[in-house]
A and B are shown apart, each in its own frame.
Chain A
Amino acid sequence: DQQVKQNSPSLSVQEGRISILNCDYTNSMFDYFLWYKKYPAEGPTFLISISSIKDKNEDGRFTVFLNKSAKHLSLHIVPSQPGDSAVYFCAASGTASKLTFGTGTRLQVTL
């Protein structure tokens, strides 16, 4: 049972445009959400997070939006840069300390 879903395996965006990566979850006990970025041959690295008491969190070019009623979150990258090309994982946690990850979306930013 995939509790965190990233339905788009890949996304291609032109440099300078907005990248929007989506994530849906089914477990209503999740109250903390994170995005990790992964380059080839490296482990995932933390990008940005949001608590369920907020609906938006911004860090530079990266903004995460949370819609609790829809059990949906999205990551916006503006403007997209070639160095943003990576696999992005959405993750969530509830009462336990472990993170539940989605399957990832591969973002390619083209020139």
Chain B
Amino acid sequence: DSGVTQTPKHLITATGQRVTLRCSPRSGDLSVYWYQQSLDQGLQFLIQYYNGEERAKGNILERFSAQQFPDLHSELNLSSLELGDSALYFCASSLTGTKDEKLFFGSGTQLSVL
């Protein structure tokens, strides 16, 4: 158990809808990362937060947004969903979010857009 909790584990929705994925980091970790894994793809970095502030941004679509709350949990919001958004979304956390820190991953949320 990595200590990172993601909910829900599975999500099935329709095109055009909006969903929210939730992540609770390991106790004491201040930084949260979101990654997307599509079929046969590696993990694509979406966004990183540190102590409530955005620290780094990757290939995150404008239809997607995220935030980290004062209690350090994070939410990833996906709107106007398309079929291609179907993927496994991972959250990871680390202590300070600095370079070369190892990340601890949650077990992911499997999103299916029908």
Contacts and interface: CB of A to CB of B under 8 A. Distances in A.
B55 A89 contact: no
Given A4-B42, A89-B42, A102-B42, A41 B107 contact: yes
Contact of B56 (A4, A43, A98): A98
A102 B65 CA distance: 24
A2 B45 CA distance: 12
A101 interface: yes
Given A98-B45, A103-B41, A45 B105 contact: yes
- The bracket for how many chain A residues form the interface is 20 to 34
Interface residues of B, number: 29
B42 A103 contact: yes
A99 B98 contact: no
A28 interface: no
Contact of A97 (B41, B42, B55): B55
B102 A49 contact: yes
Interface string B29-62: 0010101000011111100100000011010000
Interface in A15-61: 32, 34, 36, 41-46, 49, 51
Contacts, number: 64
Given A93-B99, A93-B100, A103 B33 contact: no
Interface in A95-111: 95-104
A25 to B, nearest CB: 12
B2 A104 contact: no
B99 A43 contact: no
Contacts of A34: 102
B99 A46 contact: no
Given A32-B99, A95-B99, A104 B42 contact: yes
A45 B48 CA distance: 18
Given A96-B56, A100-B45, A43 B108 contact: yes
Interface of B: 2, 4, 31, 33, 35, 40-45, 48, 55-56, 58, 90, 92, 97-108
Q: Which 6 residue pairs spanning A and B have beta carbons closest together? A: A43-B105, A101-B42, A101-B43, A103-B42, A46-B102, A98-B45
